[in-house]
Amino acid sequence: MSDLNFHAPTWSDFQAIVRAYSEDKNPVKFLADTHIFNDKLAETMLIYGPPMRADKAQGTKAAYTHYVVNSGAALPDGENQLPGGVFQWAADYAASLGLEAKIKNGETVLIKKGYVERPCGQWVEGAGQPVSQVLRNAGIEVNKYRYGRLDVIPTTLFKFNEQAEGNSHSNAIWLADMSTLAYSSETYVRHQLALWGYDLSLFKWLESTETNTQGFVIGRDNHLIVCFRGTYERVDWLTDAKFRKVALPSGRGKVHRGFLGAFASVWPELKSFLKTHATGKKLFVTGHSLGAALAQLAGEQLTAANFDVHGVYLYGAPLVGNREFANSYNKRLFDQTFMYINNDDIVTRVPPPFLGYRRVGNPRNRFQFNHNHALNIFKPDDELEALPEDETGDLFLTPEQQAEVDLLFEDAIFTIDDSQRGIEAAYGTEFEAGLISDHSTGNYLFKFACAIVDDLWDVIERRGN
């Protein structure tokens, strides 16, 4: 290994390292040794191992592009010949994330189907920067447009497992990516799902213009995914007029009036589609923010209608209903519900429990990322007794309690409004904390990827021992 350049590898260096790795009789030790020299390089080789084995040429090129764009590691200062030119490499990277790059009037534009083209300057050699830096800058533009982050670990590196029982990080990242995709237009959603290999004959777009509710159904193999979008406009479902609870038509408890209205507006078309297409298929239900609230209602209604709900995956989820609703939900989906909270995501605390709301699912399946990406069991400190209600559902709040509620909802509204604008505006590398970043889908996604990488390193360490 002494003759290999691990510090700031050029494309030729990287190919030599990959050859040595593939030919080494102890690849686990090779990765461990590489980690000593350059942990970001070792991480890239670890997660791109399957693509490089499946198609060595394309997999190795994708791996090197990822290393240059997303690792933040030192880049080679001198010449770095990229066959076909840096623009083609950057364009291929954009295509891998569902975007198209073209040169118009001497400038690069990024194209996201159904959206306005985004100018990105020049992605060419000789722009006063080393080739590797040009590729990194171009890749960052792609990341920002697609995920609102400067750095990305592609979900496609991991496999969705429809047979998985219990908490699955790979399923969690896929369904988080679906929940991120739900914020896009129907045109782009179709485009991206096709790139991911999903069967568009099993696609259904859900939309109510009256309630501004959107989502989609998609499937392949033996599963269907039901995904709901969070809000993309000014939030009105977190105001005083909306957090009154109303009875479910089924009579199984009371739920947030705004959530129920949004869900009811798409439930008939969802149920009709699934009656035709869900036979023999497992259902995975998911969403982020408001979408996670609708996913809870969908899970409860789908199981009541005898559909096979295999998992409900919730990201940045508000509380939806009272104790009676939670108890009814848990009779069917207690161990199939997985709730994820990023750091101090304020949306997961509204409406607050002292207003009579309760979380659903097995408490052992509620997970919380810390400010970094360590994932632990969520231990709430807000499970307070509910305040009394009158016969109309109105709560008796002291002025102090009302002020607390007003502040909480004000922060939540600000967070949701700005975090969704951030889908197309970078939050920064590594992990930032704060109202907006904690709720952003980009940070949820990236932290899941980091958690999977940690899992893979754990396997490497066990094999090494």
pLDDT tens track for 388-433: 554 545 566 777 777 777 777 777 766 666 555 544 443 344 445 5
CA–CA separation, 125 and 132 (whole Å):
9
CA distances from 197 to 161, 193, 200, 446 (A): 14, 6, 9, 22
CA distances from 220 to 7, 190, 196, 249, 311 (A): 42, 14, 10, 32, 16
At 418 the pLDDT is 58
At 80 the pLDDT is 77
DSSP H stretches of helix in 9-151 = 11-23, 27-37, 39-47, 49-54, 56-70, 86-96, 131-147
CA distances from 119 to 107, 110, 213 (A): 7, 6, 31
Residues of the chain with pLDDT under 70: 1-2, 126-127, 232-243, 381-396, 413-436, 464-465
The domain ranges of the chain are: 11-151, 155-462
At 434 the pLDDT is 58
Q: What are phi and psi of 217, to 5 degrees?
A: -120, 140
Both tokens assigned to 386: 């509910």
CA–CA separation, 164 and 160 (whole Å):
9
249-259: b or e for each residue (b if 16 or more CB lie within 10 Å)? eeebbbbbbbb
At 428 the pLDDT is 41
Contact 79, 86 (CB under 8 A): no
Could you tell me which of 285, 231, 232, 226 has the C-alpha nearest to residue 259? 231
pTM of the model: 0.91
Q: What are phi and psi of 216, to 5 degrees?
A: -155, 160
CATH topology (fold) of 155-462: Rossmann fold (3.40.50)
DSSP 66-78: HHHHHS-----SS
Calculate the dihedral angle through the C-alpha atoms of 397, 401, 407, 409, rounding to the nearest 10 degrees.
-50
Could you tell me which of 204, 206, 194 has the C-alpha nearest to residue 224? 204
How far apart, in Å, do the first and last CA atoms of the chain sit?
21
CA–CA separation, 226 and 296 (whole Å):
11
